Structure 1
Amino acid sequence: MAAPDTATDAADAGLRADMIAIDANAAPWDAAPSAAPLGWVTRWAIGWSRARRWEFWPAWLYYGPIVLWILVLGLRHRSATLFTAANPALDNGGVVGERKHQGLMPLQRNAPDLVACFTLLPAEPGTAREQQALAFAARDDIGFPLVLKPDVGQRGRGVYIARDAAAVSQYLSRHDGAVIAQRHVGGEEFGVFIAQMPGQRLDVISIVHKTFPSVTGDGRRSLRELILAGERTRLIAAILLERWASQLSQVPADGQRIKLVEIGSHCRGSLFLDATAHATPALVDSLMRLTAAVPGYRFGRIDLRAPSLEHLQRGEGLQVLELNGVTAESAHIYHPGTPLVEGYRAMFRQWRLAFSIGAASRSLGAPVTSAFELLRLFIADLRRGRQWF
């Protein structure tokens, strides 16, 4: 059977240590056998199921009305890119090409208890940054596993969990851009979207609970069969069969649980659940302290972990992984079964707030990025994305 499973401390400590006879250090760039192709009936059935769920629609199809709404807002505000002023703390408001360390560094400096400790590995040749990463991992409060991710990246691109020094070395040898090395944090993962007018108390407009699909063995079926039998895992079979290609023929023991996804990104296979109703005044108080620690951060999704949902509600034990900007999504809309109209309503509201906060920030001196510069940045980001898995 298949079931989504949240990232508990116990599960994260092992990170798939309980799974079959698996090479725990297998990396995305390692050569792996291709999974046997699915039959046309299975492909058609999965494709039809995905087509009926708009959360799986291609971006060009879903985002058409949203782009039109952005153009309307631009006309109303007489500035097509006014939203880029919403987050003065981030490059271009965090629309594209922003550097993750811009938000994380002031947070680590001013409110270190709220962030998963990290270090920035510069983009430079040689072994110096590998030594820096290993020295960071050697700290008593860090250790392995260690999360590695590009300083500039989106949608889980290039995020990798390194379990030993060799994995760190392999990752850095393949990617010469600036990299964030961050302590791996256990617990439940959430994306909390905030909107804050300058000088006012912030609003939480979205909370998504990110869960990680798994399968549980029955001692009879192979991993491939379990994936294709699961209600959720079947829908993301293309991702999972490629990721687990070298282990698909193995038969998990009866009751053996296998967490199939480790990265909290919808496009990487995570299941997103709507947790917006769990916003509380105590959570907002903690988030106010966070935004005070990062001057100019006013609008975007805060990806974080907390020991439990109850801790999140109390605003306790929060560990920020990333501060995302304007083009982050109110990701609760990807909760299975959310009506399409509700998804559009949330995104229309998000962009209306982006323009309003951008206008308020511009009046305080925040810069607005031109449309031509944004286009250049988007093209550069497409090129940059080709080097990452």
Structure 2
Amino acid sequence: MSFLKEILNRPFFIKLFNWEYWSFHTVYTPIYIYWVWLCIRARSFFFFNTANPAIKNGGFLMESKKEIYDIIPPQYYPKTVLVKAGSAFSVVQQTMQQHAFIFPLIGKPDIGMRGLSVKKLDTERDVQAYLQTSKVDFLLQEFVPFENEVGIFYYRYPGESEGHISGIVGKEFLTVTGNGIATIEELLQLDKRYILQLPVLQKTYGKTLKQILPLNENFVLVPYGNHARGAKFIDLTPLADQQLSGIIDAVCKNIPGFYYGRMDVRYNTWEELKRGENFSIIELNGAGSEPTHMYDPQHSILFAWKEIIRHWRILWKISRLNHKRKKIPYMNFSSGIQMFRENSAYVKLISPE
């Protein structure tokens, strides 16, 4: 029995029997035919660029996070600056002083995806190391201290006065709780989700993983809610009541040219979030957003396909309305192909070696 358990706890079998760990193309390939059908109806393979007119490519690929922050009212997101690749560290230090940055900070590529190269920076030495290793422009952002994080999927049809919440995902960060006996690494090996993260965590934390945590002491190894970095996603969509929908709708209508996407929000308490208090938007994603509440382990792959198709149809309808009402042209074929090529090259720059 223990031998079987050992086999099933190997990364290959963990991924095989839990669809949430399947590759992007494995999940999406069976339903690509529906996407093709939408393209045919729109008479464009790249209709999605009109979904969010204020965001490059509608926020599907290769959009700048800094440019997105610039259209969000500043009270809604943490202090953020853009650092050009290859900048002198003295210039970065001066920028941090001018903006009165307080550690810890978050470093992340200006054009990012799936949590690649996102890192918590606790000291100036960490910032210097991040600067030296980054091959692309990146953001320095103050770490939001609120303990909770959700992803809220929002859409509003052009011409309608009210928007809607189509999904909410709660995020449990990659955290272990000490028992006074086991090392951090041994505790990680008790959770299949964490086993998949071990190679990265061993590289990041080194000998720290050999420490024994005191009884009931929590240790957060990845302090942000990214599924690819070990966070557990919980479907909280039933919590999308009228009060929360009203708050989120008011925020999103203050973001010019934003009609469709997911915002990742740090917040203090749920009741405060519903009142529009003590929260911060740490990410705003556009047409390329996934309905990440589908990754709740309780959901099946059939549920995921249903949610993806539902959101694709909403994206298509919004894109079509903006195309017709605002006369925004669809991206042409050559530009679309070039976008995908640039994205492939960029992924290689921010992927760990």
TM superposition shift of 1:281: 2.6
Determine whether 1:223 maps to 2:188: no
Indicate the residue corresponding to 1:248 in structure 2. Answer: 209
Indicate the residue corresponding to 1:5 in structure 2. Answer: none
Determine whether 1:365 maps to 2:327: yes
Q: Give the alignment of 1:18-37 within 5 angstroms.
A: none
TM superposition shift of 1:238: 4.6
Indicate the residue corresponding to 2:113 in structure 1. Answer: 154
8 Å contact from structure 1 (residues 150, 179) kept in 2: yes
Q: 1:315 aligns with which of 257, 261, 276?
A: 276
Determine whether 1:170 maps to 2:129: yes
TM superposition shift of 1:52: 1.8
Determine whether 1:134 maps to 2:96: yes
Amino acid corresponding to residue 47 of structure 2 in structure 1: L
Determine whether 1:206 maps to 2:167: yes
Q: 1:58 aligns with which of 17, 20, 23?
A: 23
Amino acid corresponding to residue 143 of structure 1 in structure 2: I
8 Å contact from structure 2 (residues 193, 230) kept in 1: no
Indicate the residue corresponding to 2:50 in structure 1. Answer: 85
Instruction: Measure the CA separation in 1 of the matches of 2:248 and 2:229.
Output: 27
Q: 1:380 aligns with which of 336, 342, 350?
A: 342
Instruction: Measure the CA separation in 2 of the matches of 1:270 and 1:136.
Output: 34
C-alpha deviations, 1:163-221, integer Å up to 9, x for none? 11111122122225322221211221111111111132111111111111322222222
Amino acid corresponding to residue 45 of structure 1 in structure 2: N
Amino acid corresponding to residue 146 of structure 1 in structure 2: L
C-alpha deviations, 1:325-378, integer Å up to 9, x for none? 111111000111202211111100110111110011112132322333223222
Q: Gapped runs of 5+ residues in structure 2?
A: none
C-alpha deviations, 1:266-292, integer Å up to 9, x for none? 111111111111113332333233333
Instruction: Measure the CA separation in 2 of the matches of 1:272 and 1:183.
Output: 24
CA 1:94–1:129 in structure 2 vs 1: closer, same or farther (change >3 Å)? farther
Superposition TM-score, scaled by structure 1 size: 0.82
Superposition TM-score, scaled by structure 2 size: 0.90
8 Å contact from structure 2 (residues 171, 234) kept in 1: yes
Amino acid corresponding to residue 172 of structure 1 in structure 2: L
Indicate the residue corresponding to 1:195 in structure 2. Answer: 155
Instruction: Measure the CA separation in 1 of the matches of 2:83 and 2:327.
Output: 32
CA 1:238–1:121 in structure 2 vs 1: closer, same or farther (change >3 Å)? closer
C-alpha deviations, 1:19-46, integer Å up to 9, x for none? xxxxxxxxxxxxxxxxxxxx99735533
Determine whether 1:183 maps to 2:142: yes
Amino acid corresponding to residue 155 of structure 1 in structure 2: R
Residue 229 of structure 1: SS of its match in structure 2?
coil
TM superposition shift of 1:63: 0.9
Aligned-pair Cα RMSD in Å: 2.3
Residue 309 of structure 2: SS of its match in structure 1?
helix
TM superposition shift of 1:248: 3.2
Instruction: Measure the CA separation in 2 of the matches of 1:235 and 1:158.
Output: 17
8 Å contact from structure 2 (residues 135, 349) kept in 1: no
Determine whether 1:328 maps to 2:292: no
Q: 1:343 aligns with which of 263, 280, 304?
A: 304
Instruction: Measure the CA separation in 2 of the matches of 1:136 and 1:289.
Output: 32
8 Å contact from structure 2 (residues 86, 131) kept in 1: no
Amino acid corresponding to residue 268 of structure 2 in structure 1: P
8 Å contact from structure 1 (residues 278, 313) kept in 2: no
Determine whether 1:118 maps to 2:80: yes
